[in-house]
Structure 1
Amino acid sequence: MGLLDIASIRSIERGFSYYQSKCVINLKSYSETQFEAEVKGSGSNVYRCYIDMEHPRKSKCNCPHADGRRVICKHLIALLFTASPEEANKHIIMLNEVEEDYHLRRNMWIDSLKEMVNDMSKEELRDAYLNMLIEHGEMAELFGLDEEEDLFEDEDEFY
């Protein structure tokens, strides 16, 4: 189990951002799996970090989130990606795959919506549209309709 396996998604995302912003300074290597560095935090704060890739729970950072606790913070993740560009590249590949999968699924969802809408009668479309405007008042506002107003005296006038 590695550092990325025990870090929160938020720490990984923020740590990757710190890595990209080159916040890791004074990197020292003690072995192929043990590194120490300072990581620029928010404001003028600089935190001292140590990672042991073979024993991730031995990794330490003196930031308020991780100091004295066995948690993997964003600073440790930034150090990991800086010390191990292969890990950063794997992460980039994974992010690209996730984004590609998202777009594929979204396009499939849109295609199924189009198919469903094309199979609806005019009456079903009108009902669905009216319900959407009622349930999502902000959409009605986009069309210049005030949800507070009575749009129709009688619903039958709509048809």
Structure 2
Amino acid sequence: MDRMAMPPEEMSGGGVTIRLGEYVEPQAPTHVPILSYKIDIAGRAVGEVRLRLGDSDDLKRYFGQIGYEVYPAFRGRGHVTAACRLALNVMRELGYEEVWITCNPENFASRRVCEKIGGAHVDTVDIPVGHVMHEHGILQKCRYRVVL
């Protein structure tokens, strides 16, 4: 896979625009570069979608390669689903053939987003004792695989 392609600065679709806000150099806890995109609706930032660029087991099992957040006032309107579809296009452009997304088992809204964007629930894994997530009280993650 060619991962040297430049990521798009901006992408629009489904009533949403994602704009590259920053490139984060590898650092703990993921140790991979991150592209952080702002989710924009009609000129207003409503959340973020983060692309973790790597293929490590830690990403695929626990952190996920795409993370997202929508600000509370904008939840339940499909903005994250639209933004994640755009994020999948970015990952495809960067040469990925599949993407792993994880979420907490009790986060039904996030699980629904994964399903809406074509993610197949693969399994739910226990976070190992000593892992940074376990230390923060996160004990399990649902794993979704999206084939691009």
TM-score norm. by structure 1 comes to: 0.28
Higher helix share: 1
Structure whose alpha-carbon radius of gyration is higher = 1
TM-score norm. by structure 2 comes to: 0.29
Higher strand share: 2
